[in-house]
Amino acid sequence: MSNVLNESSEHGDDNGDVNAVVPQLSRLFDVDCYLKNYRKEIERRYREFRTLLQRIETNEPGGIDKFTRSYEEFGVHAHSDGTITWKEWCPGATGLFLWGEFNQWTDNQYEFKNIGYGKYELTLPPIVNQETNSVVPRIPHNSIVKLRVATRDGRHIDRISPWASYVTRTEKAVVYEQKFWNPPQKYIFKNARPAKPSCLRIYESHVGIASWEGKVSTYKHFTLDVLPRIKKLGYNSIQLMAIMEHAYYGSFGYQVTSFFAASSRYGPPDDLKELIDAAHGMGLVVLLDVVHSHASKNSADGLNQFDGTNGCYFHDNSRGFHNLWDSRLFNYTEWEVLRFLLSNLRWWVEEYQFDGFRFDGATSMLYHHHGMGTGFSGHYDEYFGMNTDTESLVYLMLANHMLHTTYPFIITIAEEVSGMPALCRPVDEGGTGFDYRLAMAIPDKWIKLLKEQQDDHWNMGDIVHTLTNRRHGEKHISYAESHDQALVGDKTLAFWLMDSQMYTHMSVLSPDSLVIDRGVALHKMIRLITHVLGGEGYLNFMGNEFGHPEWLDFPREGNKESYHYARRQYPLAEDPLLIYQFLNNFDVQMNSLEEKYHWLDSSQGYVSRKHESDKVIVFERAGLIFAFNFHPSISYTDYKIGVQQSGKYRIVLDTDSKEFKGQQRLDHNVDYFTFPEKWDNRDNHMFVYLPCRVAIVLAQESSVNE
């Protein structure tokens, strides 16, 4: 069997024989030869993907392109002549009706026509003004509409369209309501998309908590106040969380109720478009945190029991319920579910101009056990056995194939913890097609160290192993902490390091504090080594760049519906009397240095030294030398380190600098020369001064002023 994907296979074999179509396994095996033992299973999965793709191309008019733009047909649409059309898939219903403010809630006045295959259509002619000879849509813009579903057991239940693009809730209402969004003036994007970055420096963001005030913040506030901060900090990408509408604010956006609606709690749809447009104008790409792994169990304002049954969009058995998340699980074998989810991805790209997606809960999708109560040893049998959910995996392959072949600028990231091989290899190689995966073991390691050990007992080899233990040929996004570590019940790095004195000693006027000095020093070192050694991209959760105090807790009954912890206290980083400014300054310089030398876009760092008693780690990446002294009390003069490239070097970043609240123990005017003698498996060596709890970055002098 050939391992080369022939030209005809991109759209199916000429004879329709999917079994003749195989991935470019030679490329995959070049990256990981151990995958050869699982060749048959990789080919089987790929054939399942090709079969599904071919079925769509064959059975859907317009093929995959039209199929994935079904939002143009389904849901409610106003046309230029004033006509309104509405189409739904409601397979368990015996009838479907529309009512709302536009007809004074008159029941059964507008009945959908059953067109077969569980689909219903309705056409509403416009209202004609005889005097002016003009027409207007029968449903006014921004008025409430509801679907009334007649169920098989004789009930009539009100539902929101799964394709609803705008849903709102009044302050004291229990459920959301769909509004017909048809503004007279459509938002026109002013700025082109930025070029796709070769590496990602991601600012993970939540619009609702972006203000220092105790309230739900807005798209407008984020655009005006937060975007300039992100740009100044040196990030090139924004990951927006909790955008897909979710009735429960405290779910952090992970219990989605309306998949096509941008959350109205932050403002109307055009405000989100303006935010993304402004970000593009600053050269920032914007990624959406997309949740296709599960859905809210809400029925009155969610997808659950849309047609009165437990099926429809979900598995109609125990497989359709996620016990830990208390949510519903999609049936990825259902034709209309594929139409819905794939169209959902294109909707956010086309309508809002998002540049890519971070797929939440990929591990849950990939396995029948959803990763619950299961530890992964890394043995390949765990990935290519019966525990893998092929149907979900094929959906992810199809989604990545569709996105990457349609949009050359698209970026996809998987939140995946098991280490599934080939997750971030192209689909035509037999991979799942993601561009990046999150390096989720890294923040867990830092938290574990801070919880369980004093830093004088940290194991340098263990730290290096965690930072570099990633699949070759698959890109990773490293991070020291994300929103997960900020949530109540855990602690941020800053809180683990300094919570005992963060309320009393974070002023520059406060007495010197060993706790604060240690915390600030390690906070910088942890971020830097994670940024440089941990992957091919870097992520920071909003506020963590300056050591945001306290945890994140959304208003709920347990905290008396308080917004006190559901906010980001950005003014702390701007106050010249507070220490937070120094951590913020370091983030700016760290990102600026990456922008200049592009270490995230370079091959993995070569670690030449991880000395346990010295507590020193030395490595090279992108032509730079990184030296970390984690020892709490011992500084080293003339410390010998290995260097591959000979020459004269200068310090380009120093965590001990004054602008970062360091002790200024290093002279940046000193030249560092290499000597032609091998050391630590490098061709040359040099001698450096390494103060305790300090990291330095050295660059060849010729590159410093470029």
Active-site residue identified among 360, 428, 587, 594: 360
Active-site residue identified among 245, 389, 415, 474: 415
Q: Is 99 helix (H, G, I), strand (E, B) or coil?
A: strand
Q: Whole-angstrom Cα distance, residue 479 to residue 475?
A: 13
Q: How many other C-beta atoms can be found within 10 angstroms of the C-beta atom of residue 241?
A: 24
R_g of the chain computed on alpha carbons: 28
List, in order, residues 6 or more apart from 276 with CB less than 8 Å away.
286, 352, 353, 354
Sheet with 84-89: list strands edge to edge. Answer: 75-78, 84-89, 119-124, 113-116
Q: Whole-angstrom Cα distance, residue 349 to residue 339?
A: 16
As to burial, measured by CB atoms within 10 angstroms (0-12 exposed, 13-18 middle, 19+ buried), residue 321 is middle
Record the tokens describing residue 132, joined without a space: 């002016």
On whether the CB atoms of residues 464 and 617 are closer than 8 A, the answer is yes
On whether the CB atoms of residues 286 and 277 are closer than 8 A, the answer is no
Q: Is 619 helix (H, G, I), strand (E, B) or coil?
A: strand
Say whether 415 is catalytic.
yes
Quickly list H helices, 60-193: 63-67
- DSSP of 396-444: HHHHHHHHHHH-TT-EEEE---S--TTTTS-GGGTS---SEEE-THHHH
Q: Give the DSSP H/E element, type plus range, for residue 650.
A: strand 648-654
649 secondary structure, DSSP code: E
CA angle 504, 510, 516 (to 5 degrees): 65
Record the tokens describing residue 329, joined without a space: 């699980």
Identify the residue whose tokens are 């683990």. 496
Record the tokens describing residue 7, joined without a space: 């030209």
CA 600 vs CA 94, 622, 666: distances in Å: 56, 8, 26
On whether the CB atoms of residues 694 and 521 are closer than 8 A, the answer is yes
On whether the CB atoms of residues 44 and 18 are closer than 8 A, the answer is no
Q: Whole-angstrom Cα distance, residue 650 to residue 673?
A: 9
- The one-letter amino acid code at 4 reads V
Identify the residue whose tokens are 């922008």. 595
- DSSP of 48-94: HHHHHHHHHHHHSTTHHHHHTTGGGTSEEEE-TTS-EEEEEE-TTEE
Say whether 360 is catalytic.
yes
Q: Whole-angstrom Cα distance, residue 437 to residue 416?
A: 6
- The one-letter amino acid code at 207 reads V
Q: Catalytic positions, please?
A: 360, 415
